[in-house]
A and B are shown apart, each in its own frame.
Chain A
Amino acid sequence: MSPASVFVCLSLTLLSDYPVIRVKPDNSGVVTDGVKHSMNPFCEIAVEEAVKLKEKKFIKEVVAVSCGPTQVTETIRTALAMGCDRGIHVEVSGKDYEAMGPLQIAKIFAALAKKEEASLVILGKQAIDDDCNQTGQMTAALLDWPQGTFASEVTIDGEKVKVVREIDGGLETIKISMPAVLTADLRLNTPRYATLPNIMKAKKKKIANMKPADLGVDMVSRVEVLRVDEPPTRLAGVKVETVDDLVAKLKANGTI
């Protein structure tokens, strides 16, 4: 029996390879106004994998989900243009959005996955703006589902999923039962570009709207950000004339 629906959970991140990120003058965070936002690259890979699984007829429906302010619907539309069938936008804005972290998001995704009876939840392994790498794992724990994280290859085999994971020592292959949570790593696939005809079709696909309270999720964060600082500016080097000078300087500053 092929799985019914697959949830792809997306995150909207700062497009960090493009502009220069600045810290706010009050050191409370980074400046996000006017900075280009885009779908998190690992989430693109997750969407691509889900759409590929549907094209190979392993699954029937792909639902794209994301939490955040209205801006996030554009990201969901891109996922729809890549081939997802419908979207769910969980609206979180203002102070709740600023305080939103992996635990709150995981609670939302877990509640949704249960409510909609998803068979597979696929996420990007981490968001490139905070590099937390926690949401997928927390979602699996809250659901008490098995997890296949850092996936570089995913194969569906009946009721089970074979996942090849990229780990420090090499590649680890595991087999987990569904329903399960997967997180996508870089080499899982090359995401397709959304083409214009598909972007037009995506405008007609449905995006449902809801709030965390509708899912019974409380957004209170137990983490308080005290301060955000830029890394210290690199100091100029010092030129020395001889090797003796070099050794003397290294001794003087305690390096040797």
Chain B
Amino acid sequence: YRSIQLINSVTSPTSLCGSSINGGWERVIPAFRSVCGEDGVSLGAAVREQHGRDESVHRCRPPDVVVWPRSVEEVSALAKICHHHHLPIIPFGTGTGLEGGVGALKGGVCFSLRNMDRVLDLHQEDFDVSVEPGVTRKGLNSYLRDTGLWFPVDPGADASLCGMAATSASGTNAVRYGTMRENVLNLEVVLADGSIIHTAGRGRRPRKTSAGYNLTNLFVGSEGTLGVITKTTLRLYGVPEAMVSAVCTFPSVQAAVDSTVQVLQTGVPIARIEFLDDVMIDACNSFNSLSYPVAPTLFLEFHGTEKSLEEQVTVTEEITQANGGSDFSWARDAETRGRLWKARHDAWYAALALRPGCKAYSTDVCVPLSRLPQIIVETKEDLMLNGLTGPIAGHVGDGNFHCIMVMDPNDQDEVIRVHEFTERLARRALALDGTCTGEHGVGLGKRALLREEMGPLAIEVMQGLKATLDPKNLMNPGKVL
């Protein structure tokens, strides 16, 4: 039986779950095939490797087999087989995560959900829509473009919306439109034993509710450790009538961040407020052949009616100029705005281009707004003191920023120094009443920090919930807790 021989010949460290499975695979693989069809199961090494890594620096941990269910009934049937045979289940959306969430640490079965790609139940007047896990953010917005509605949560990558729910994703628009936590109304979830639940009741989509425990937000951010999300009902928003973008440079980090805090305090409903430090702007200039002044910079975007835009912009400009900010560089139409934002969107690649051949790791802390100036200034000092390459880009409107740590993976000393830096940064954020992960999730690398952040009693409650929903610890083992 050729397929079984392939498993035995693959040289990944934890490819088999346990010797009791060796005999069981011969029954399990045909069982999988009878659920999702001959083409719906793969043991190929290349396929398994593709499904064992995401966009983080964590090394590839391939599963033993990849399956492609086509419906929630198939997901449930597959889960029952895995439950019976004690096989780990790893849900896989688009593989665009940044914290190693899809690595199959104990081998097992990767449930690749991309073939469940329908947009269901769009209710235009109610501003809600339900989607299957194969629908991505850009896919949904393309589908919606005739309706005047959009889903604004934008984490950068063209991620699966159910995957975004699983990691409680956020993005550049969160300051105005919120994160996934605020925008998921209901979830259909398959639990480890194959049971299918609807976290707010089947088909329900009221804009608000006070019915029972908030199961929806228990699963949002659970990173595949409590169940497989097979459908999410999302809150939609009206497409803004007009948008205006602007860029403004500042004499210091303090001035830029102070401006951010003040703009929010005056109640301007700013849609995007992004910070790039001088190192980042310099990298962007080189990468995109631009000539922005090399200084702390804010990229701003305003959404609204023509009249409200004028007001928003006037108030904001007064604040930035009071803090020593430069005149605004403007953009109104779609093409010019696109060019303006290209610098920010390409930040990751621009950072990598600073040191070709290196890898990049993005830190992700979030603190209350008033603590933002302090943490950014201290972090920049830390970077300079330790000779690290870490251009900063951040959603300062949420108090969230990323240091894109560019490092040579073969330079052990640098890797260790970067690791120590990120631990110091996370602890600095925790000390300032913040969190070790604003939007990327805990995944593989921040479990210890999560314990520090939550404290032992809260962690015990989380472990209790995990034990209740997944007593055999089959759901994405080794992540979050």
Contact residues of A with B, CB < 8 Å?
15, 17-18, 36, 38-39, 74, 78, 81, 189-190, 192-199
Contact of A81 among B148, B334, B335, B338 (CB under 8 A): B148
Q: How far is the CA of A196 from the CA of B303 in the complex (A)?
A: 14
Contact residues of B with A, CB < 8 Å?
119, 139, 142-143, 145-150, 238-241, 334-335, 338
| CB–CB A193/B143 < 8 A | no
| CB–CB B148/A198 < 8 A | yes
Contact of B148 among A17, A74, A190, A194 (CB under 8 A): A194
Q: How far is the CA of A36 from the CA of B140 in the complex (A)?
A: 13
Contacts of A199 in B (CB 8 A): 147-148
Further contacts, 8 of them, CB under 8 A, given A190-B334, A192-B334, A199-B147:
A18-B139, A18-B142, A38-B146, A190-B338, A194-B145, A194-B147, A194-B148, A194-B239
CB-nearest residue of chain B to A74: B146
Given A190-B334, A190-B335, A195 contacting B238 (CB threshold 8 A): yes
| CB–CB A36/B148 < 8 A | no
CB-nearest residue of chain A to B118: A19
| CB–CB B148/A195 < 8 A | yes
Q: How far is the CA of A47 from the CA of B385 in the complex (A)?
A: 56
Contacts of A15 in B (CB 8 A): 143
CB-nearest residue of chain B to A189: B335
CB-nearest residue of chain A to B143: A18
Sampled A-B contacts (22; CB under 8 Å): A15-B143, A17-B142, A18-B119, A18-B139, A18-B143, A38-B145, A81-B148, A190-B334, A193-B145, A193-B148, A193-B239, A194-B146, A194-B147, A194-B239, A195-B148, A195-B238, A195-B239, A195-B240, A197-B241, A198-B148, A198-B241, A199-B148
Q: How far is the CA of A196 from the CA of B237 in the complex (A)?
A: 10
CB distance from B117 to the nearest CB of A (A): 8
CB distance from B126 to the nearest CB of A (A): 13
Contact of A196 among B119, B142, B149 (CB under 8 A): B149
Contacts of B240 in A (CB 8 A): 195
CB distance from B334 to the nearest CB of A (A): 4
Contacts of A74 in B (CB 8 A): 146
Contacts of A198 in B (CB 8 A): 148, 241
| CB–CB B239/A39 < 8 A | no
Contacts of B241 in A (CB 8 A): 195, 197-198
Contacts of A195 in B (CB 8 A): 148, 238-241
Contacts of B149 in A (CB 8 A): 196
CB distance from B273 to the nearest CB of A (A): 22
Contacts of A190 in B (CB 8 A): 334-335, 338
Q: How far is the CA of A93 from the CA of B459 in the complex (A)?
A: 64
| CB–CB B150/A193 < 8 A | yes
Q: Tell me which of B142, B148, B149, B338 has the highest count of chain A C-beta atoms within 10 A of its own C-beta.
A: B148
Contacts of B148 in A (CB 8 A): 81, 193-196, 198-199
CB-nearest residue of chain A to B115: A20
Q: How far is the CA of A15 from the CA of B140 in the complex (A)?
A: 12
Q: How far is the CA of A194 from the CA of B146 in the complex (A)?
A: 6
